[in-house]
Amino acid sequence: MDVLLVEDDDTIAVPLAKGLQREGFTVRCVADAAHALAAPEADVVLLDLVLPDLDGYEVCRRLRARSDVPIIVITARGDEVDRVVGLELGADDYLVKPFGFRELVARIRAVTRRRLPRPDDLGPVRVGPLELDRRTRRVRMAGVDVALTAKEFDLLALLAEDAGAVLTRQEILEAVWDAHWYGPTKTLDVHVASLRRKLGDPTVIETVRGVGFRLSDPP
């Protein structure tokens, strides 16, 4: 698996790269935004937010605009607002320094594993004006293509598996993020809000107060 590590602090980048290589990953290290954006696409990106030439949030936004590559933000910024901004811009996960190496490896494997469609998930699903194709990871709303991040697609695909059924917040977090998700629960609300905005209809995903969410299934 090819990992792009975007980190300008060698005291962090060098041992982290060596550790990942021991785990069998191929690691390319870059120390600034320019090289990160010019690098060939990797299987996963580990992105620091503090870079010498461009804010990491902007790097995240640009990467996400052109690719659905999994992005894990690794940063010392631990405030909830920082997490929410990163996730809104398309990051798939957010890890605050200092973090455990084993946890990082687990997060990498989780975000890359979720990109792979299960054989029984292939084929289009239609719910009212919404059409979702798991094989091509393409979404159309009323015949118009909708560009989603990898995590937004996975969330929508999960809800579409049983349109009309309510999924609890915990069930969604465990299925779309990780069974051992340590991030803020607001992550889910951020992604639901983004989906509603991109699909152009806030009623497509219904909130069931105190329980979770469901995909509206029109008669």
pLDDT higher for 89 or 191?
191
Residue 169, helix vs strand vs coil:
helix
Domain boundary residue among 113, 141, 163?
Answer: 113
pLDDT > 60? residue 116? no
- Taking Cα atoms as reference points, which of 171, 147, 160, 172 lies closest to residue 204? 160
Cβ pair 24, 12 in contact under 8 A: no
Name the residue range of residue 85's domain: 2-113
- The span from the first CA to the last CA of the chain, in angstroms, equals 44
Report the C-alpha gap between 178 and 107 in whole angstroms.
Answer: 8
Is 125 in the same domain as 196?
Answer: yes
Residue given tokens 């461009």 in the structure block: 54
Domain end, chosen from 113, 133, 151, is at 113
In angstroms, what CA-CA distances link 154 with 12, 31, 144, 207?
31, 31, 19, 18
- pLDDT-derived band at 173 (thresholds 50, 70, 90) equals confident
State the pTM of this model: 0.58
The first and second tokens of residue 71, run together, are: 């992005």
CATH of the domain at 12: 3.40.50.2300
Three-state DSSP class for residue 149: coil
pLDDT for residue 183 is more than 60: no
Residue 74 forms beta bridges with which residues?
Answer: 95
In residues, how long is the chain? 219
Amino acid 218: pLDDT: 74
> Could you give the percent of the chain with pLDDT greater than 70?
91
Please indicate, yes or no, whether residues 106 and 127 belong to a single structural domain of this protein: no
Note whether 157 and 193 are same-domain residues: yes
Q: What is the CATH number of the domain that holds 131?
A: 1.10.10.10
Does position 119 have pLDDT exceeding 50, yes or no?
Answer: no
pLDDT over 70 (residue 176): yes
CA torsion through residues 156, 158, 163, 167, sign: negative
Supply the pLDDT for residue 3. Answer: 95
Give CA–CA dist 42/44, Å, rounded: 5
Whole-number pLDDT of residue 115: 59
Identify the weakest region by mean pLDDT among 52-61, 63-72, 109-118, 130-139: 109-118
pLDDT at 95: 87
Domain total for the chain?
2
Instruction: Say yes or no: 96 and 141 in one domain.
Output: no
What backbone phi and psi angles, to 5 degrees, belong to 30? -130, 150
Q: How far lies 63's CA from each of 44, 59, 73, in Å?
A: 11, 6, 12
Categorize the per-residue pLDDT at 167 as very low, low, confident or very high, splitting at 50, 70 and 90: confident
Q: Band the pLDDT of 113: cuts 50, 70, 90.
A: low
Q: Which of 89, 113, 137 is the last residue of a domain?
A: 113
What are the Cα distances from residue 219, in Å, to 129, 158, 163?
11, 20, 11
Residue of higher predicted confidence among 113 and 151: 151
213 within 8 A of 166, measured Cβ to Cβ: yes
User: Where does the pLDDT of residue 204 fall: very low under 50, low under 70, confident under 90, or very high at 90 and above?
Assistant: very high
Query: Are residue 104 and residue 138 in the same domain, yes or no?
Result: no
